[in-house]
Amino acid sequence: MIPAAALAATLLSALIHAGWDLFLKGRAGDRMIDLAVLGLGGTAFGVGLILLFGAPAAGAWPYVLASSAIHLVYWTALTRGYASGDMSHVYTIARGTAPALVTLGAVIFAAEVPSWGQGLGIAAISAGVMLVGLNRAAPPAATFWALLTGVAIAGYSLVDALGVRVNGDVFSYKGWGAVFTFLPISLFVIARRGVGGFRVAAAGRWRAGMLAGAVSSAGFMLVLWAQLQAPIGAITALRETSVVFGAALAALLLKEAVGARRWAGALLVCAGAMLIGFGA
């Protein structure tokens, strides 16, 4: 059984993650500018952790750098996916490909074999996510970018989970991890647009974007902390309950169509979460 504190932290992280994805999808205008401002907020959060907790252990640095590289793929694929299709399609397919891949990686690299209940829960979440996100009418480009996003999610989830265990402390690891994750994409956008052009385009977007970045970074820190207390694959799968929050938010706030099949998938995700959280 997953410890109650780890379960609560992961579910809160799932809600946070759905919320910032809604922010990125729902903003009018240039999403790359929004992503850059969000990145600066995440960087500021990381700097605060660095000032409080210092640097991670020497052995954790390869994981920090590898995660940063994978995140560049993630940011690129995610923004292009949202430019190509509905949030409820892109977001859910991206999240649905990750749990099985991370679980397999945890078996190989951390010798963590899930129990039968956790295995069923991971399978149920993966299947439910695909039910929520599957849309035959979606543009092929949206599906491609969603799948690439999912592979990137699996990559950085596994790398960071292993890295924080090597470090033994989530705060110092996440401080530098946040800076190396968020700052490169912000600097890339600023370099492409020029400092003056970026400032003009970002006008009126600072408060919401910076807050979204800081909250997003804090949300992922919750998952890393949970992965210190519980199996990597199970926690990663539990975080994908964010698709339930994402589908509901997309329907309520973005007015996207979420039919009976998608709600059935969401219920399957919830059943999988219960198997992981309370099963043997």
pLDDT tens, residue by residue, 183-225: 988 998 899 889 998 999 888 888 888 988 898 889 889 999 9
Percentage with pLDDT > 90 across the chain: 29
For the segment 246-270, the average pLDDT, to the nearest whole number, is 74
Residue partners of 267: CB distance under 8 A and separation at least 6: 128
Q: CA–CA separation, 270 vs 90, rounded Å?
A: 20
The owner of tokens 């605060």 is 48
Is the model's pLDDT at 35 over the cut of 80? yes
Q: Which residue has the higher pLDDT, 29 or 86?
A: 86
Write down the domain spans for the chain: 4-278
Query: Is the pLDDT assigned to residue 27 strictly greater than 60?
Result: no
- Euclidean distance between CA atoms 42 and 190, whole angstroms: 16
The H or E element that residue 55 is part of is: none
This prediction's pTM: 0.81
DSSP 201: H
pLDDT in tens, 229-244: 888 888 888 887 777 7
Cβ-based neighbour number of residue 271 at 10 Å = 15
Give the Cα separation of 270 and 244 in Å (integer): 8
**How far is Cα 219 from Cα 14, in angstroms, rounded to an integer?**
8
Q: Which residues have C-beta within 8 Å of that of residue 249, sequence separation ≥ 6?
A: 18, 19, 22
DSSP 8-state code for residue 280: -
* Three-class DSSP category at 9: helix
- Among 139, 83, 132, smallest CA distance to 266 is for 132
Neighbours of 52 (CB within 10 A): 10
Torsion sign, CA atoms 87, 88, 92, 94? negative
Per-residue tokens: 66: 């590898």
Q: In 3D, which of 26, 138, 133 has the Cα closest to residue 88?
A: 133
Mean per-residue pLDDT of the chain:
84
Q: At what angle do helices 61-84 and 170-193 cross, to 10 degrees?
A: 50
Per-residue confidence at 28, pLDDT binned at 50, 70, 90?
low
166 Cβ contact list (under 8 Å, min separation 6): 57, 59, 60, 63
pLDDT at 247 over 80: no
140-189 pLDDT, tens per residue? 888 899 889 989 989 999 999 999 999 999 999 999 999 998 998 899 88
Q: Are 182 and 40 in contact (CB under 8 A)?
A: yes
